[in-house]
Amino acid sequence: MSVTVVVGLQWGDEGKGKIVDFLSDNVDVVARYQGGANAGHTVVVNGEEIILHLIPTGILHPCVTCLIGHGVVVDPEELLAEIDLLQKRRISPEGRLWISDRAHLVLPHHKLLDAARERGDGSGCIGTTGRGIGPAYEDKISRRGIRIGDFDNIKLFEDKLVRNIREKNLLLDRIYGIPGLEEEEVLLSYVEYARKLKPYLADTTILLNKAIEEGEEILLEGAQGTLLDVDMGTYPYVTSSNPTSGGACVGLGLAPSRINRVVGVVKAYTTRVGNGPFPTEVRDELGDKLREMGHEYGATTGRPRRCGWFDGILTRHSVLINGVTGLALTKLDVLDQLETIKVCTAYQVNGKNLDYFPGDPNILDSCHPQYVDFEGWRHDTTGVRAFPDLPVQARRYVSFLEDLLGVKINILSLGSDRKKTILID
C-alpha cells in the first residue's frame, strides 16, 4: 500500500493532469483535495484531448474510484457538465465518483462578486478566472457557506440559499452597482442540481481511510501549483486554498503519517497566468516563441501564459515545503529547437546574490535572475522512449536540474500523449 501526492511546483500548468493520468494506471483511488473549477487538467488519450476541471483524471481509467474531497469548492453546474462530457464518451462515473458531503458550493453570487472585484481593482487586480472560487472560500471561512451535503434537506438548503442571496444582493447593489440575483430562478436551478448530484454524495474521508486500511494504492491530486498557495505562494497573487502537499491532509481528512511519497511536477521552463512577480519571465519574441511551441494557453480560460526560463530558486523552495521525494519533468520537448537554454540559479538584489525565495512579492519583483547557459540539442525528442536515447545535451540539462534541486527526476514527459513518457526510475 502507498499514498502518493502529486503536486505542482511552479505557478500551476505544469502538466499534473498528464502525470496523474499516467500514474493512475496502477492505482485504485484518485482523490482531489482542493481548488475548484478555476483550474483544468488536460489529458490526451489516443489523440483525443479531454479537459477536466473538478473530476480527478483517474476517472479515465475504468477500474479507478475517484473522490472529490471537502477541500474542493464545487460548482454543481460545471460538475454536471463534466459528468455529461464523460458519459458522451462512454465513460460512466456512476459507482466510481464520490463527492464529499462536506464540500462547499460555488454559487452564482460568488461569480458575480469575483468579476466585480477584478473590474474594480484596476491595476491592482489579481488576475482571477472569475469562476467564484475566492468568494466561495471566503464564505466557507466566515461560516456563511453552503455545503453540498445540505442538498439532503432541501428546506434547510433553500433557507440558507435565500439568506445568502439577499446578503450578497445588497453587497452587489450598494458596493458594485450590479443588479442582484432572482431568488426563485437560483432556487429552481439548485434544487435540480441537488436531485442530480445526490447519488454521488458520500463521506469521502471514511471511504479514503478505509481504502488505505485495505491496502489499496492511493493517488492524491491538487489543482494549481505551489507558488499559488495562499500561504506559501506569491501573495496576494495566489489562489484561495493550499495546493501544497500539506493541503492534501486538510482537504481530504487524512493524517500526514499516511503519505508515503510526494511527486513534484515541474515544467522544463516556467510559466504563470495572471498578474504577479515572475523573475525569469522572457518578454521578447523568444517568450512568444516558447508560448507557441508549448501551446501555453489556459485550459480553463484560454488566456495566454507568461513564459520564462527554469527558475531553480523558486523550484527549490517548492521542493522544500512539499517534502518532494521524486520529480516529474514535463515539456522537455518544447525546448528541442532552442540553441541556448538558461537556468536561473540565484537572484541578485541590490548587487547581492540571493539563494532563497523571498516571501515579499515586492522584493521578488526587483530580483534579477542569475543564469547558467546550456547548449541546446536541436533534435526532436518526442519519439524517444528511453532516457539514454536522449541527446547528450538534453541528458546534461536533466542531470543539472536534479543536482540543483537535490531530487531525482523519475518521470520525463516529452509530449501530451500518455505514450510520450519515459519512466526513469
3-state secondary structure of 312: helix
104 assigned to active site: no
3-state secondary structure of 42: strand
SS3 for 137-169, per residue? HHHHHCCCCCEHHHHHCHHHHHHHHHHHHHHHH
With beta carbons less than 8 A apart as the criterion, state whether 135 and 114 touch: yes
Beta bridge partners of 104: 73, 147
User: CB within 8 A of 202, min separation 6: which ones?
Assistant: 98, 99, 100, 101
Residue 68 grid cell: 472529490
41 assigned to active site: yes
Residue 70 to residues 74, 109, 150, 157, 201: CA-CA distances in angstroms?
Answer: 9, 21, 13, 18, 11
CB atoms within 10 A of CB 269: 27
Annotated catalytic residue within 13, 28, 139, 229:
13
Strands of 177-280, DSSP E: 201-202, 218-221, 261-267, 270-272
Dihedral angle, C-alpha 129, 130, 135, 137, nearest 10 °: -30
Annotated catalytic residue within 28, 41, 53, 109:
41
CB atoms within 10 A of CB 392: 10
3-state secondary structure of 392: helix
Residue 370 grid cell: 542569475
With beta carbons less than 8 A apart as the criterion, state whether 271 and 13 touch: yes
What residues are labeled active site? 13, 41
